[in-house]
Amino acid sequence: MPFTGLSDFIALLEKKDELHRIKPFVDPVLEITEITDRITKSGGKALLFENTGTDFPLLINAFGSDKRMALALGRDDLTETGNEIESLFDTLTATRGKMFEKLTAIPRLLRISGLLPSRINRKGSCQQVIHKDPDMSILPVLKCWPHDGGRFITLPVVHTVHPLTGRTNAGMYRMQILNKNTTAMHWQRHKTGAAHFEEWKKTGKRMPVSVTLGGDPVYTYAATAPLPENIDEYILAGFLRKKKVKLVKCVTNDLFVPYDADIVIEGYVDPAEELVMEGPFGDHTGFYSLADRYPAFHITCMTHRVDAIYPATIVGIPPQEDAWLTRATEKIFLTPLRIALQPEILDFHMPDAGVAHNLVIVKINKTYPGQGKKVISSLFGAGQMMFTKYLAVVSGDTDIRKYRDLLLYIFNNTNFRSDFLFASGPLDVLDHSSDNFSIGGKLGIDATVKMPEELSGKITDHEFNEEAVLNYLKDLPGIVINANLLRELPVVVTGVKQAGDVMAVEKAREIFKKAGMANNLRFILAVDDGVDVHDLFTVAWQILGNTDPRRDISFISDNTVFIDGTIKAFRKGGFPRRWPNVVCSAEDIIKKIDQEWASLEIGPFIPSPSRKSLNLLHKGSDEVAAADG
Q: Cβ contacts of residue 221 below 8 Å, gap of 6+?
A: 63, 72, 73, 237, 240, 325, 328
CB-side neighbour CA atoms (13 Å) of 404: 7
**Contacts for 63 with CB less than 8 Å, ≥ 6 apart:** 69, 72, 217, 220, 221, 313, 321, 324, 325
Handedness of CA 310, 316, 319, 324 (dihedral sign): positive
Q: What is the dihedral of CA 585, 591, 596, 601, to 10 degrees?
A: 60
**Which residue blocks in 148-216 are alpha helix, DSSP H?**
192-203
Q: Is residue 283 flagged as an active site residue?
A: yes
387 in Cβ contact with 357 (< 8 Å): yes
Q: What is the DSSP letter of 125?
A: G
Dihedrals φ, ψ of 426, to 5°?
A: -65, 145
Say whether the peptide bond before residue 146 is cis (omega within 30 degrees of 0): no
Distance CA 157, CA 153 (A): 10
Q: How many Å apart are CA 511 and CA 453, to the nearest integer? A: 37
Closest CA to 570 of 501, 524, 510: 501
Pairwise CA distance, residues 549 & 380, whole Å: 14
Q: Count H helices, E strands: the chain?
A: 21, 30
- Beta-carbon-side half-sphere exposure of residue 233 (alpha carbons within 13 Å): 25
Q: Are strands 281-282 and 288-289 parallel, antiparallel or unpaired?
A: antiparallel
178: number of CA atoms within 13 Å, CB side? 20
- Using alpha carbons, select from 410, 355, 338, 375 the residue that is nearest to residue 540: 355
- Neighbour tally for 619: CB within 10 Å: 9
Are the C-beta atoms of 342 and 379 separated by less than 8 Å?
yes
**Strands (E) located in 389-535:** 390-394, 420-426, 439-447, 480-481, 491-496, 523-528
The phi and psi torsions of 407 (rounded to 5 degrees) equal: -60, -45
- Taking the C-alpha atoms of residue 61 and residue 63, their distance in angstroms, rounded to an integer, is 5
Measured between alpha carbons, how far apart are the two ends of the chain, in Å? 47
Cα 114 to chain centroid distance, Å, stands at: 32
How many alpha carbons fall within 13 Å on the CB side of residue 300?
15
Q: Of 283, 352, 431, 564, which one is the catalytic site residue?
A: 283
Identify the bridge partners of residue 161 per DSSP, sorted by sequence position.
168
Round to whole Å and give the CA distance between 469 and 556: 15
Whether the link from the prior residue into 609 is cis, omega within 30° of 0, is: no
Which of 30, 25, 33, 22 lies closest to 54, judged by CA? 25
Active site residues: 283
